Chains A and B, each alone.
Chain A
Amino acid sequence: MSVEQAGQMARPELVCPAGTPAALRTAVDAGADAVYCGLANATNARNFPGLNFSVPELEKAIPYARKGGTKVLLAVNSFATAPGADLWHRAIDTGASLGVDAVIVADIGVAAYAARTHPGLRLHLSVQAGASSPEAIKYYCREFNVKRVVLPRILTIAEISAIHDLIPCEIEAFVFGNIGMMAEGRCSLTNYITGQSTNMDGVCSPASAVRFEKQTDGAMTARLGDFEIDCYEAGENAGYPTICKGRYLTPGRNAPYYAFEEPVSLNLSSLLPDLVKAGVSALKIEGRQRSRSYVRAVVTAYRRAIDDIMDGQPPDLSALVALTEGGKQTQGAFKSKKWR
């Protein structure tokens, strides 16, 4: 891309994960345009013990972000359950009263509550809503005044470009981090084994159900509840045991294999210019459950990459593969529908 072409593109917003106040400060200092975070309860889709923000922590973090010129987006993006919808409503109220820059929602009822109760509160539609067609996105924009949609990771860049031309809101797309094969907001696999829901309890493969067991030959077994999800040989790169990324014995195979998908991370560094040209206005990094060291490395690298692209220079993100799950990366469905 030439300098002239780059100059004609709108600069995309870099949206970065903040699982803890320290990670938020790290992201701000590393150049995030926006950070997204959640409260320490079931209202967000990364409800891991020890992670997330108390209300006082969020209140204290917002001025720090503001000082760094960084927006704060509050994820209230799990699905409210009867009879406990008050928890989600209180999270929306908290975001509004603390003055977050936007709330990220997935549930129609939560979106309706936010639009009705806090009409001035900017709403983003979470990837969890799984809105992948112009009609679905326009529905959310019309009914709840949604200003931005986070697209599911099942679309090619050509499809994103086509959608961009047909919808009245901004597009946010994931560019780095964990990726699953399931359409977002639809997966119930973790319920099957643990009884806890990714979409309603906010946790996929809850750590309380995860066990790593070292074998005498140096191998490591990963279990979720009563099920063995994978067994890694000595020295073999491992992953976090989710059912969709397990290795299983199946008929017709001599050895366990990844029946659904391998542990792998999305890395769209080489597609960034194409995403921007397709009309994506915000680039999102996954990983609220990751350490501040990860946040520092990924945000710094992507900040430089975006600035390089906007200056018409080729970005260099080769070091990021060391931070990927299982040491493997993919461009997912963004380049081709078949990504295995």
Chain B
Amino acid sequence: MLDRLQTPPPAQPLLPRLMGLVLVPVPLFAIQPILDRLVRDITTRRPEMFDRLGPHTTTRFVIDVDEFPFVLMLRPDPTAPRMTAHRRSENIAHGASIGGPFMTLFQILDGDGDSDALFFSRQVRVGGDTEAAMCLRHALDDLEGSVVDDIMKIGGPLYAPLRLILSRLRHQAGGNGAASIPPGPDKRAKS
């Protein structure tokens, strides 16, 4: 017999919606230096990511966060990695797209969300080249720790608010499993 489960989407916390509202009047060129720094730092720290991307290092990925007034375009080319913000009205050309509520995507990025289960329950959207999206998922999922860890390591007072927000988001998400895998059971119990 089949058992069925209807999973209502979880209530989204306030902070991402506030972030989205704050970002509405911000011109995109003002965001670009932050995106450049994030991409530069992460790709420098994580060169192993590119192996799992295989042929898709030149694919253009659109990341569509529901609460944000813009989408992000990522091109994970190891020779010239690039992430840019675009208004939705631009309809930018891309190979694959991944979208969903901020907290859901944040949990996946932080190694805490099961992207397949989130996709099956329609909380995450995937469009375009499914293979490219899967490669990006595997590349992020195989990291020791998570990309969020990397962002939180970016120093300097300018990034202090970002670190604070991420810390707060992690708290709201219930902590990150990537960095804090629950201790294994008593090994004596093993066969």
Alpha-carbon gap, A211 to B96, bound state (A): 10
The answer to the question of B139 belonging to the interface, with a C-beta cut-off of 8 Å to chain A, is: yes
What's the least CB distance linking B31 to chain A, in Å?
Answer: 26
What is the size, in residues, of chain A's interface with B at 8 Å between Cβ atoms? 69
Whether A290 touches B190, Cβ cut-off 8 Å, given contacts A23-B141, A31-B184, A296-B182, is no
Give the Cβ gap from A144 to chain B, nearest Cβ, in Å. Answer: 25
User: Counting CB contacts under 8 A, is A272 at the interface?
Assistant: no
Docked-complex contact A294 and B53, CB < 8 angstroms: no
Q: Are A291 and B116 within 8 A (Cβ)? A: yes
What class of interface size applies to chain B in its complex with A?
A: 35 or more
Residues in A whose Cβ lies below 8 Å from that of B126: 212
Separation of A303 and B191 alpha carbons in the complex (Å): 11
A330 CB–B CB distance under 8 Å: yes
A212 closest partner in B (C-beta): B126
Specify which of A237, A304, A307, A339 is in contact with B120 (CB 8 Å cutoff).
A237
Interface membership of A49, Cβ < 8 A: yes
**Chain B's interface: helix, strand, loop or mixed, by majority?**
mixed
- What 0/1 pattern do residues 48 to 59 of A give for CB contact below 8 A with B? 111100100000
The answer, yes or no, to whether A216 is at the interface (CB within 8 Å) is no
Whether B141 pairs with A20 at a CB distance below 8 angstroms is: yes
A235 contacts the other chain (CB 8 A): yes
Contact B121 A68, beta carbon cutoff 8 Å: no
Is there an interface contact between B190 and A33, defined as CB atoms closer than 8 Å? yes
A49 to chain B, nearest CB (A): 5
| Given A12-B191, A206-B131, A323-B114; A330-B2 close (CB under 8 Å) | yes
The 13 listed contacts between A and B (C-beta, < 8 Å) are A49-B56, A68-B184, A208-B131, A212-B127, A232-B122, A237-B5, A291-B111, A296-B181, A304-B185, A307-B189, A310-B189, A327-B120, A330-B2
Query: Which B residues are closer than 8 A to A by beta carbons?
Result: 1-7, 51-56, 108, 111-117, 119-122, 125-131, 133-139, 141-144, 177-178, 181-185, 187, 189-191
Interface contacts beyond A22-B142, A48-B134, A330-B1: sample of 11 additional A-B pairs, CB < 8 Å, sorted by A: A11-B191, A20-B52, A22-B143, A23-B142, A26-B181, A49-B56, A211-B130, A292-B141, A293-B108, A294-B117, A296-B181
